[in-house]
Amino acid sequence: MGQKKDLTGSEKSKIVRYLAEGCSSLKIAKLLKRDHRTIKRFIQNSQQGRKKRVEKPRRKITAHELRKVKRAAAKMPLATSLAIFQSCNITGVPKSTRCAILRDMAKVRKAERRPPLNKTHKLKRQDWAKKYLKTDFSKVLWTDEMRVSLDGPDGWARRWIGKGQRAPVPLRRQQGGGGVLVWAGIIKDELVGPFRVEDGVKLNSQSYCQFLEDTFFKQWYRKKSASFKKNMIFMQDNAPSHASKYSTAWLARKGIKEEKLMTWPPCSPDLNPIENLWSIIKCEIYKEGKQYTSLNSVWEAVVAAARNVDGEQIKTLTESMDGRLLSVLAKKGGYIGR
């Protein structure tokens, strides 16, 4: 009987069972039609057990090295523990020790999703803050668009669930199952809209102006008094459809030009208070992991959530602008959060 390949998992299980039944190694070899030496070797190796792990002496970290690690962690945000220690020329430190040391001086954080700010961006943000520092923000209409999908944001995956209960399996559809583009504005303590962009319409300069004409101007702006229109300042971000020459000229024909059209610094969603309104609405429509089966149902949820936002909440957002401008100047144009 010639030697064959290594024992399979099934054969090993049978050997253990036969041994428990009192069979000899020779009998097991005959039953499995394997070489006797192979069976004996497996039995001997199984009886030896695992070798004890030899604990290696851990490398001690000096106070000088700790200071180097702290400086490196400050200079290398979101770096791995290995990269931080390697930059300090500290080797031979296991991962558990590296993490324990870093836990006393740093935190594990995810990278924040926001546009990068370069030196030019920061200077423009400071210039913007200085320009509008004395503005009466109760007369500014803050506008923006928001897209809502049927499945909701991917980042809100962890929630509490009772012991013994199974977590529901959420639907995962391509592109979040599709979505609805929503436009709205806030001024003082009033919500303008929300208005729904027609499905399938891509907002370029022409479609954006037509959308404003059909919704904002006809349904809200036209009803306001002449004194209100005279003092109102219209804010929009620098999206291509907003800042194009066509859109600027079209708004000028509507009387929104020069000082009535607020200039906006680049990469500055943190300065627009309506972004906080979008967060309030999304928290409401996607609470408890809710998902939707049609575009109309998610739009109805947005409208219902917007109606539940009272004037005091909106007033809190619009009145936060003075503090935001001061924060921009204090941080020399840096991000201020929301």
Give the pLDDT of residue 296.
94
Look at residue 54 and tell me if it is in a domain. Answer: no
Same structural domain, 18 and 101: no
pLDDT at 329 over 90: yes
Same structural domain, 124 and 192: yes
Same structural domain, 210 and 99: no
Look at residue 4 and tell me if it is in a domain. Answer: no
Burial class (CB in 10 A: 0-12, 13-18, 19+), 166: exposed
Same structural domain, 124 and 37: no
Higher pLDDT: 168 or 218? It is 218
Look at residue 110 and tell me if it is in a domain. Answer: no
Lowest mean pLDDT among 25-34, 44-53, 179-188, 246-255: 44-53
The model's pLDDT over 75-97, given as tens digits with 9 standing for 90+, comes to: 887 788 888 899 999 888 888 88
Same structural domain, 34 and 126: no
Same structural domain, 239 and 101: no
Same structural domain, 89 and 127: no
Look at residue 162 and tell me if it is in a domain. Answer: no
Same structural domain, 94 and 192: no
Number of domains in the chain: 3
Give the pLDDT of residue 207.
96
Look at residue 290 and tell me if it is in a domain. Answer: yes
Same structural domain, 140 and 192: yes
What range defines the domain where residue 81 resides?
63-105
Pairing of strands 179-187, 233-235: unpaired
Q: What is the DSSP string of 252-299?
A: HHTT--GGGB----SS-GGG-THHHHHHHHHHHHTGGG---SSHHHHH
Same structural domain, 202 and 325: yes
Same structural domain, 287 and 229: yes
Lowest mean pLDDT among 18-32, 96-110, 202-216, 322-336: 96-110
Which residues have C-beta within 8 Å of that of residue 309, sequence separation ≥ 6? 191, 277, 280, 281
The model's pLDDT over 143-158, given as tens digits with 9 standing for 90+, comes to: 999 999 988 775 445 5
Same structural domain, 93 and 16: no
Rg (CA), the chain: 33
Q: Please compute the mean of the pLDDT values over residues 202-227 and round it to a whole number.
A: 96
Residue whose C-alpha is closest to residue 283's, from 266, 259, 246, 308: 308
Give the pLDDT of residue 1.
45
Look at residue 92 and tell me if it is in a domain. Answer: yes
Average pLDDT score, the chain: 87
The model's pLDDT over 303-325, given as tens digits with 9 standing for 90+, comes to: 999 999 999 999 999 999 999 99
Look at residue 202 and tell me if it is in a domain. Answer: yes
pLDDT at 121 over 70: yes
Q: What is the CATH number of the domain that holds 214?
A: 3.30.420.10
Look at residue 253 and tell me if it is in a domain. Answer: yes
